Amino acid sequence: MPNSYSETYFPVLLQMVLATAVGFALVALGVILGYRVKNKVKDSPYECGVQPVGSAKERFSVKFYLVAMLFILFDIEAIFLYPWAVVYRDLNHGANRMFGFVEMLIFVVLVLAGFFYIWKKGVLNWQADPGPASVPPAKAPAAYSLSEK
Amino acid sequence: MPANLWPSSTDLLRFGPEILLTLVGTLMMVLEPLLDNKRVFRTLSLVTLLGAIGVTMAAHGVPGLSYANMIIVDGFATFFRLLVLGVAILTVLLSGDYLEKEGHETGEFYALLLFSVVGQGIMACANELIMVFVGIEISSIASYILTGYLRDDKRNNEAAMKYFLLGSFATAFLLYGVAWIYGLTGSTNLNDIRTVLSSPNFTNSASLVGMSAALMFVGFAFKVSAAPFQSWAPDVYQGAPSPVSAFMSAGPKAAAFAVFIRVFLTAYGPISDTWVPLVAIAALATMTIGNFAALRQTNVKRLLAYSSIAHAGYVLVAIAAHSTVGTQAVMFYLASYVFMNVGAFAVVTFFARKGEQYVNIDDLSGLAVRQPAMAAMLTIFMLSLIGVPLTAGFFGKFYIFKAALDSNLVWLTILGLLNSAVAAYYYLRILVVMYMREPGVATNNMDEAPFALRLTVWASALATLVLGVMPGLLLDVAGRWVLALGR
């Protein structure tokens, strides 16, 4: 039984040292033993095996950023559900019957109100004209639409 | 796990104002895409804010601690809740016509305003450091968005970006301070921290406790725009829409002072020897920087921002006094400051017109000829900001410096009074331009002020004068509701 602060964390330190050592060792082995080829094809960016069609330095539709932001919001909602589910039984015990359920219900309803808001505001509508929130991209917006693929 | 987690009806009532505002704010977000007539939201938010005032008074009838001692309803909390609700009502009255003129009246504006007030209400009644943090964040995040509300306006965008980056950075300091004091005392509850710090068994180093107080001071000083963390205020107040500047310079500031006082007088009360000199020096620096920088301003909004920094300095003087009289003075001062400042910004909102074209001091030339009533109102606010007798500002300053003298802060009182003299120069300059110059491009062809705006200006001016003639009305309330020192 570890009894001091340093003893408790000794395994963690050990693991960090080992992980670092293994990482360095693998890279070093690659450098020492590996056979290297350098050519134009190998230096080109990897695009799922398809020939690259142009520069990656393009303007992206601002819609990506909106969707990413919304994804984080709803992702966090899902993350909150996990610890809640773990303590669900304790939260709903005895005098607290239904308490945990109602608490989460309030939270989910609030997030749902947010979902309703972004839905009605047309944020989820990928095809619609870019609203005042989005800067029109330099190229035609159709180039970014999913349906084209 | 506690035996009963369900909040009692008393708990719900004590937290009622915030619950009501949250519900209506959310309802507004849901209604916003469904309703075409955006004027509905003005009425709805006014009714809600008035309702919240009613609930606040009802909650005041059942004072005490709620939600595992996380919130406290006492006179001090009620006072600041009423204050921020009052500011919000004035802001709604001010915003409607402004937003309509700019073609941007939406439900989100009012919903965000209500959410910001929720945060300020939580700040006023928080009795626990995590609640303090949550309140500050709710209030600030809503304010960041309101600052950049006219998103096609470059000035709005710049102001919002600066405010957001600096604001989040400052809140991180506050949170770090919370972590330190939790590590040292094992609690985030203000009363528990006080008990631990004043116990003779407490062996942790005083410098560590001081460090946590200093870190939290950084966070609070930023929120009240005290030196050396004041540099954001001029840029943000200048860039934000005028009604939002009025709101930010009053509501969040008052709430931040409330929470500042509660944390430092309650939790850090036992170590007041370490933080009182710090607050005194910050007070002096804030007053001096605010007043001297304001001397050179040409933009009215920027001038009012520096003046708002200087006024934060005066309030810090009263906090440095560290006495019941000092806290009472802060309450009186903030209440009177709120009216004169919102009033001044209301006149600026009226004068600036669409796109805020006219915001320079020189544009005001001859306002007294074209709009005698508005010029007279602005004169009242300016005289009150100087601290001329018969206005609220006079008694505000009087009580603050009296509290400082009672606590033997003679040097700070003298330097503060000298500062007030410097301040008179830049406020009077506005009066000179209004009354002694010929009307120019900006003052000719002015429309009548809309009714709601006139109402805001008149109400603020009336409050400023009433408090200046009969300060006893408010001082009695502040005396009864003041935060007791030894709790």
Digit-coded pLDDT (tens) for A6-19: 778 889 999 999 99
Statement: residue A27 has pLDDT above 80: yes
Looking at the DSSP bridge assignments, the partners of residue B33 are none
Burial A97-127 (b: 16+ CB within 10 A, else e): eebbeebbeeeeeebeebbebbeeeebeeee
Confidence of residue A142 (pLDDT cuts 50, 70, 90): very low
| The pLDDT value given to residue A135 | 47
**Token pair belonging to B471:** 């300060």
**Token pair belonging to B18:** 């915030």
Are residues A71 and A24 part of one domain?
Answer: no
Give residue A131's region: left, alpha or beta (phi > 0; psi -120 to 50). Answer: beta
**Token pair belonging to A83:** 């610890």
Contact A132 B29 (CB under 8 A): no
| The pLDDT value given to residue B486 | 58
- A113 close to B (CB below 8 A): yes
Give the whole-number percent of chain B exceeding pLDDT 70.
Answer: 99
Q: How far apart are CA B330 and CA B315, in angstroms?
A: 6
Can you tell me the mean pLDDT for B327-331? 94
A139 in a structural domain: yes
Closest CB from A96, A121, A132 relative to B4: A96
Are residues A30 and A76 part of one domain?
Answer: no
CA distance B210 to chain A (A): 26
Are residues A13 and A86 part of one domain?
Answer: no
DSSP state of B264: I
The separation between CA B148 and the C-alpha centre of its own chain, rounded to angstroms, equals 19
Contact A90 B1 (CB under 8 A): yes
- Strand runs (DSSP E) across A17-148, as ranges? none
Are residues A124 and A68 part of one domain?
Answer: yes
Are residues A68 and A31 part of one domain?
Answer: no
Distances (CA, A) of B454 to A103, B346, B392, B461: 44, 9, 20, 10
Looking at the DSSP bridge assignments, the partners of residue B72 are B65
Confidence of residue B356 (pLDDT cuts 50, 70, 90): confident
A55 in a structural domain: no
Are residues A74 and A28 part of one domain?
Answer: no
- B30 close to A (CB below 8 A): yes
CA distance A3 to chain B (A): 20
Q: Collect all residues of chain B within an 8 Å Cβ-Cβ radius of residue A131.
A: none
Which of these, B382, B353, B407, B354, lies nearest to B460 by C-alpha position?
B382
Tally C-beta pairs within 8 A across A and B: 32
A48 in a structural domain: no
A117 in a structural domain: yes
Contact A91 B1 (CB under 8 A): yes
Q: Collect all residues of chain A within an 8 Å Cβ-Cβ radius of residue B26.
A: 110, 113
Are residues A140 and A95 part of one domain?
Answer: yes
pLDDT per position as a tens digit, A38-68: 888 777 777 777 777 777 777 777 778 888 8
CA distance B334 to chain A (A): 34
A52 in a structural domain: no
Contact B33 A120 (CB under 8 A): yes
Q: How many CA within 13 A on the CB side of residue B166?
A: 21
Give the structural domain span for A108: 63-148
CA distance A113 to chain B (A): 6
- B26 close to A (CB below 8 A): yes
Q: Collect all residues of chain A within an 8 Å Cβ-Cβ radius of residue B6.
A: 95-96, 99
**Token pair belonging to B41:** 């939201």
Burial class (CB in 10 A: 0-12, 13-18, 19+), B332: buried
pTM: 0.87
Can you tell me the mean pLDDT for B33-46? 91
Burial class (CB in 10 A: 0-12, 13-18, 19+), A149: exposed
Secondary structure class of B186 (helix, strand, coil): coil
A75 in a structural domain: yes
Which of these, B345, B337, B339, lies nearest to B314 by C-alpha position?
B337
DSSP state of B66: E
Contact B30 A117 (CB under 8 A): yes
Q: How far apart are CA A51 and CA A39, in angstroms?
A: 15
Statement: residue B340 has pLDDT above 50: yes
Secondary structure class of A123 (helix, strand, coil): coil
Chain B interface disruption, residue of A96, A104, A108, A135, most B CBs within 10 A: A96
Single-letter residue type at B162: K
A124 in a structural domain: yes
Q: In total, how many domains does chain A have? A: 2
Report yes or no: B451 and B82 within 8 Å, Cβ to Cβ: no
A25 in a structural domain: yes
Chain B residue with CA closest to A115: the answer is: B30
In 10 A of CB B287, how many CB atoms?
A: 29
| The pLDDT value given to residue A143 | 42
Are residues A93 and A131 part of one domain?
Answer: yes
**Token pair belonging to B294:** 């304001």
B residues 289-308 closer than 8 Å to A (CB): none
- B36 close to A (CB below 8 A): no
